[in-house]
Amino acid sequence: MLLISIGVNGLQKAKKYMNKNLLLIFTRNPELGKAKTRLAKTVGNETALEIYKFLLQKTRDVSLKVTSDKAVYYSVKVRSNDIWNSETYQKHQQVGEDLGIRMLNAFVNSFDAGYKKVLIIGSDLYDLTSEDIETAFNKLDTNDVVIGPAEDGGYYLLGMNSLHSSVFKNKDWGTATVKEDTLADLKDKKVHLLQELNDVDVFEDIEHHSAFQHFLIK
């Protein structure tokens, strides 16, 4: 049984926005010792937190340029006074026992609220642009699903114009098989792949990236 968190009030809030497209942004609450833990093994907890806050702000700035409605899904607790303005961003808490179910619940909420195209991104990809996101929405005019493949074997973006719940189940999240397993679930669907990009998980992801050098040289 799905745990749906939006409810009647959530539907009413969604209707005040109601573009036909919705961008979902999954975030972790930026807390010391809990943000970018694999990266923190090399750079330390404080620097990892600074980098994650930097990535959050970059994600917000990119998403603000996207013409769709937008919703932030918080990992732990919904924040009222943070970088996500509630006049622009619908706010929800993630619900579910693993990443797949949390994403599934968010997509169910979104389609139940009346949206026709729904995309989800994380908040740890510096190189993602608003043009990439707009392209993904446009590709859903002629495709069932759009995927932004990540260099580590996962994906940084997933979009669909109707619910395909199998892609959220029976996955080893955080491993190199996620993209291929997802494509296997969609073998009878028309899927568009965006350009491959790299999200930020470990030190090697930022070691030679110009945008992060000021965090590393202290």
Q: Can you tell me the distance from the alpha carbon of 68 to that of 145, in angstroms, rounded to the nearest whole number?
A: 17
What is the Cβ-side half-sphere exposure of residue 212, based on CA atoms within 13 angstroms?
27
159 conformational bin, left if phi > 0, alpha if psi -120 to 50, beta if neither: beta
Structure tokens at 182: 């997802």
pLDDT for position 5: 45
pLDDT for position 4: 43
For 96-152, the pLDDT digits (tens) are 999 999 999 999 999 999 999 999 999 999 999 999 999 999 999 999 999 999 988
pLDDT for position 80: 87
Average pLDDT for consecutive 10-residue bins of the chain (218 residues)?
A: 45 61 94 90 93 96 97 92 94 95 97 96 94 98 97 94 95 90 96 94 90 84
pLDDT for position 1: 38
Give yes or no for a contact between 179 and 14, defined as CB atoms under 8 angstroms apart: no
The neighbour count for residue 92, using CB atoms within 10 Å, is: 20
pLDDT for position 3: 43
Q: What residues are paired with 155 via a beta bridge?
A: 149
pLDDT for position 19: 82
Give yes or no for a contact between 206 and 39, defined as CB atoms under 8 angstroms apart: yes
pLDDT for position 18: 66
Give yes or no for a contact between 135 and 21, defined as CB atoms under 8 angstroms apart: no
pLDDT for position 188: 96
User: Domains in the chain and their CATH numbers?
Assistant: 7-208 (3.90.550.10)
Q: Can you tell me the distance from the alpha carbon of 199 to that of 77, in angstroms, rounded to the nearest whole number?
A: 24
pLDDT for position 121: 97
Give yes or no for a contact between 120 and 107, defined as CB atoms under 8 angstroms apart: yes
